[in-house]
Amino acid sequence: MAIGGGMSCVKYLLFCFNLLFAITGLIILIVGIKAEINSSPYIDLTDENFYTSGPIVLIIVGVIVFIVAFFGCCGAVKENHCMIVTFSVFLLMIFAAEIAVGVAGYMKHTDPETSILKHLNSTIDQYPTNKDVAKTFDIVQTDLQCCGIYSADDWAAHKLAIPPTCCSGQEITDGLPAACTKTSLGFHGEGCLKKLVTHFKDIAYVLGGVGIGIALVQLLGVIFACCLARSIRSQYETV
């Protein structure tokens, strides 16, 4: 069934937008996976569920976008009212999910410090006896090149020796790394709290920016789809 010239333009614009949606779906998927990888080593350090659920939501949304783009392309090409309406409904649901992640991202970026500090303070004493705690501290101190909570003095304050992971490139003596001290080569002078807060804020900013930015682009797709669906329905009614 043919549609008017103006709606024909909308039809091809909608088709082009769906190609764009396929690309945005890939972007969402990549951002979600990257955020999940970046947050997973340190996720036990915060009580905020956003850093666990946010990346997973984006990964799911990224996969769904590909399916939605298929409905949109087929509906636009075939001028199928049902498929275009299905496309619009799915797109609105994705729009809502992305806005939710985006808003949550900008809300959560403000103060992850409280929960991180609480966890670090409550677990640092367990470093010599709890393998999970030791593993988390070692990963953080190695990856972020930091030491202690505010500084290396935190280990002494808890009557603990500075862990080897507070130093990079330690010499090996009899198969064991040399003791790490403040004068050691490659000593990490900065505390981990500040770097962890910055790391989690960066993740929240990325999730928030991608969620809101792509959602606004997809809102245009909903408008085009609604215009096309209305035109097709009116054509049916006049036949």
What percentage of the chain reaches a pLDDT higher than 70? Answer: 65
Q: Could you report the per-residue pLDDT of 182-208, keeping only the tens digit for each? A: 888 889 989 999 998 888 888 777 777
Q: What is the DSSP letter of 167?
A: B
CATH of domain 112-190: 1.10.1450
Q: Could you report the per-residue pLDDT of 142-182, keeping only the tens digit for each? A: 989 999 999 999 999 999 999 988 998 765 555 566 788 88
Q: How would residue 34 be classed by pLDDT, with cut points 50, 70 and 90? A: confident
Q: How would residue 8 be classed by pLDDT, with cut points 50, 70 and 90? A: low
Between CA 186 and CA 67 the distance in angstroms is 50
* Average pLDDT score over the chain: 76
Residues 6 or more apart in contact with residue 219 via CB below 8 angstroms = 95
Q: Do 133 and 149 meet the contact criterion of CB atoms below 8 Å apart?
A: no
Residue 2 has a pLDDT of 43
45, with CB counted inside 10 A (0-12, 13-18, 19+), is: buried
Every domain of the chain and the residues it spans: 5-109+196-238, 112-190
Q: How would residue 39 be classed by pLDDT, with cut points 50, 70 and 90? A: confident
C-alpha distance across the termini of the chain, in Å = 10
Q: Could you report the per-residue pLDDT of 46-102, keeping only the tens digit for each? A: 666 666 677 787 788 788 877 777 766 666 666 565 666 676 677 777 777 777 766
Q: How would residue 216 be classed by pLDDT, with cut points 50, 70 and 90? A: confident
Whole-model pTM?
0.67
Backbone angles phi, psi at 227, to 5 degrees: -65, -45
Residues 6 or more apart in contact with residue 207 via CB below 8 angstroms = 31, 35, 54, 55, 58, 101, 102, 104, 105
